[in-house]
C-alpha cells in the first residue's frame, strides 16, 4: 500500500504537475505585481486611478456591487495584456526562429493544378509533361 503511494508520487507526470503549479504560482505573483505595482500606478499618473468599487445598484433590499466587477474586469484585461505582450508574443517570435520551415515535397501541376511530387517529370492526373524541380 505504501509502495503504491510512493510510486504514484514519484511518477513523472505528478512531479511535473507539482513543479508546474509552483512555477505558475510564482509567475502569477510576478505578473500581478507588475500590474498592480507598475502598470496601474503608471496609468494612474496619466489619467487618474480607475476605482469603480463605490459603484452600486440598489434593487429592493439588495445591493449589486457592479463596481467591484468592473475593477476585476479591468485588472483581468491588464493581466491578459501583460501576458500576451510580454510573454506570448516574444515566445512566438523566439520559437519561430528555431523551427525550420519544412520544404514541401509536393507542388501543383501547371496544367491541371493537381498536386504532384516536386521531382515528377509527368503529372499522374493529366499526364502532362512537367519540368522536375529538384
pLDDT tens series, the chain, 134 aa: 788 887 777 776 777 888 899 999 999 999 989 988 888 888 878 877 677 888 899 999 999 999 899 888 988 999 999 999 998 999 999 988 887 666 778 899 999 999 999 889 999 999 999 988 87
pLDDT at 23: 93
- To which residue does cell 496601474 refer? 40
pLDDT at position 102 is 66
Of 96, 97, 123, 98, nearest to 109 (Cα)?
123
Quick one: pLDDT at residue 81? 92
pTM: 0.58
Strands 106-108 and 115-117 turn out to be antiparallel
Query: Residue 49: its pLDDT value, please?
Result: 65
- How far is CA 30 from its chain centroid? 17
CA 66 to CA 58: how far, in whole Å? 11
Q: How far apart are CA 23 and CA 30, in angstroms?
A: 11
Which pLDDT score is estimated for 12? 67
Residue 41: predicted pLDDT:
82
Amino acid at each position: 500500500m505504501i509502495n503504491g503511494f510512493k510510486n504514484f508520487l514519484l511518477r513523472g507526470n505528478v512531479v511535473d504537475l507539482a513543479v508546474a503549479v509552483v512555477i505558475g504560482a510564482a509567475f502569477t505573483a510576478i505578473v500581478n505585481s507588475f500590474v498592480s505595482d507598475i502598470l496601474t500606478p503608471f496609468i494612474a499618473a496619466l489619467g487618474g486611478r480607475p476605482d469603480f468599487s463605490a459603484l452600486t445598484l440598489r434593487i429592493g433590499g439588495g445591493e449589486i456591487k457592479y463596481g467591484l466587477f468592473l475593477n476585476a474586469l479591468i485588472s483581468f484585461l491588464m493581466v491578459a495584456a501583460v501576458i500576451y505582450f510580454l510573454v506570448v508574443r516574444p515566445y512566438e517570435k523566439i520559437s519561430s526562429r528555431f523551427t525550420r520551415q519544412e520544404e514541401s515535397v509536393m507542388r501543383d501541376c501547371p496544367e491541371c493544378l493537381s498536386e504532384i511530387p516536386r521531382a515528377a517529370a509527368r503529372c499522374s492526373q493529366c499526364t502532362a509533361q512537367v519540368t522536375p524541380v529538384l
